[in-house]
Amino acid sequence: MQINDDWPGYCVELFNYPEHYQGDLECVYIPHGVIMNRIECLARDIIEDIGHDDMMVLCVLKGGYKFCCDLVESIKAQSRSTNRSLTTRVEFIRFKSYMNDQSTEDLQIIGPEDLSVLKGKDKVEILISSQAIVDTGKTMRALLQHVNSFQPKLVKVAGLLVKRLPQRAATLPDYVGFVIPNRFVVGYALDYNEYFRDLNHICVISEMGKQKYKM
């Protein structure tokens, strides 16, 4: 789903949000209900692709935890409704690459160094790596390099948001929620210096918000 560059978003006063963020948000960019509807569509596509195969989901923390949780729950719910036997397990990995609103060259990987369960195990046939946002593609490339070193049978990547950037990697996630302009968004577990993760909606942070929580 493409969001145009000139999309202004919704007025924040039309939505409920924590009072302590008063003045810190420019707009609500993607409401929570729209996010959930899109995740249901992604879950349906994943189920159609993997069939009855077992699946390991690698959740990219911290920004991807809500997306991962809602995606897995939707996959489980839809697989039950279609009488498909689908076993899922979840592992967690963390990448840290942002300072304020800028992506840095220092990419830190924190998480399971040993994913050897992926190697030579017929029961673990599919690995879905879920991350909330893909911009330059640096995190996704590092993630795939790390995961592929354990020789899984198949790897697919699900990304809730992909930014349109001139320097963006040519390779996109296999499952994409929204393609958005190059705007710094927060909420739905996406943060600005650890703030705004508690927003249900995806929002654009205001200049006042950036200054207020700048490190």
Catalytic residues: 135
Q: Among 134, 169, 137, which Cα is nearest to 63's?
A: 134
Cα 184 from Cα 101, distance rounded (Å): 7
CB atoms within 10 A of CB 143: 21
* Radius of gyration, alpha carbons of the chain: 17
- Within 10 Å of residue 158's Cβ, how many Cβ atoms? 25
CA distance 142 to 124: 21
Residue 75: Cβ within 10 Å count = 24
What are the start-end ranges of the H helices in the chain?
A: 32-50, 65-81, 138-148, 207-212
